[in-house]
Amino acid sequence: MFEQTKLAILADIHGNAWALDAVLTDLDQRQIDAIVNLGDTLLGPLDPQRTYDLLQRRDIIHISGNQDRILWESLEDHTLSTHAPSILKETTPQQISWLQSLPATYIWRDSILLCHGTPFSDETYLLEEIINDGSVRTRSSEELESSLASIHYPVLLCGHSHIPRTVMLRDGKLIVNPGSVGLPAYTDESPVPHAMESCTPHAKYAILTHQVKGWTVEHIEVPYDWERASRAASQHGRDDWANWLKTGRV
């Protein structure tokens, strides 16, 4: 094990360069030992090019998210997602190749498992369950312990839901979702129509610190120019994103 280590956890940037820039600036004021990014990095009607450039200037461990996979798969099978046409105009072959190279999961220092959704699926929520009526509930400790019985790492980091959460299981596992850097709310049709809301427009990330007595988790919300990001979404024809970005609600 390692002592006094600070790990910054980013997830679900979705091409929001304004939010990412604010988070990285905030990180520069803290003594961070490493940064990880849990995926869904470029896809969104915002600024994928500058997002990519900002990330490439840093030493960051990246994994793939379902939206990263959807982006490069859409090029292979020519079935574009709702906002892929606009983003593909601004996405270079180099960026697509980079997304294809990212692993689905990653083990950091033999103790921390990084995944986007769950360790087994990039499009399934780990901490939340969507009910048939579209409501969202947090999974019980019993459900989580059962689903993660084959996972023997003490810490799991996940994204995908965009909702900041820290959960400690009875078997000692710690699960952290840092929330979304770039998209504070959204709607989705799968597995049934539902909405995810963080209820603030801030860029969100988390810091995981290992100390002698164990791990501490700090969830951080950073203000940034979300009005600018909202205007960019509108300019790309996504008024729904524009509202989500400004309010953190759907």
Asked if pLDDT for residue 190 goes beyond 60, the answer is yes
Structure confidence at residue 74 (pLDDT): 75
* Calpha distance 23→93 (Å, rounded): 27
Structure confidence at residue 207 (pLDDT): 98
* Calpha distance 129→143 (Å, rounded): 10
State the alpha helices, DSSP H only, in 78-116: 84-88, 93-101
Give 215 or 213, the one with higher predicted confidence: 215
pTM score: 0.95
Tallying the residues shown for the chain, one arrives at 250
Structure confidence at residue 155 (pLDDT): 98
State which amino acid sits at residue 52: Y
Query: In the chain, how many domains are there?
Result: 1
Average pLDDT, the chain: 93
For residue 140, give the CATH number of its domain. Answer: 3.60.21.10
Place of tokens 């090019």: 49
Query: Could you tell me the residue range of the domain that residue 29 belongs to?
Result: 5-247
* Calpha distance 157→26 (Å, rounded): 21
Q: What is the pLDDT of residues 89-120, one digit of tens each?
A: 678 889 999 999 999 999 999 999 999 999 99
Asked if pLDDT for residue 79 goes beyond 70, the answer is no
Residue 186, strand partner residues: 196
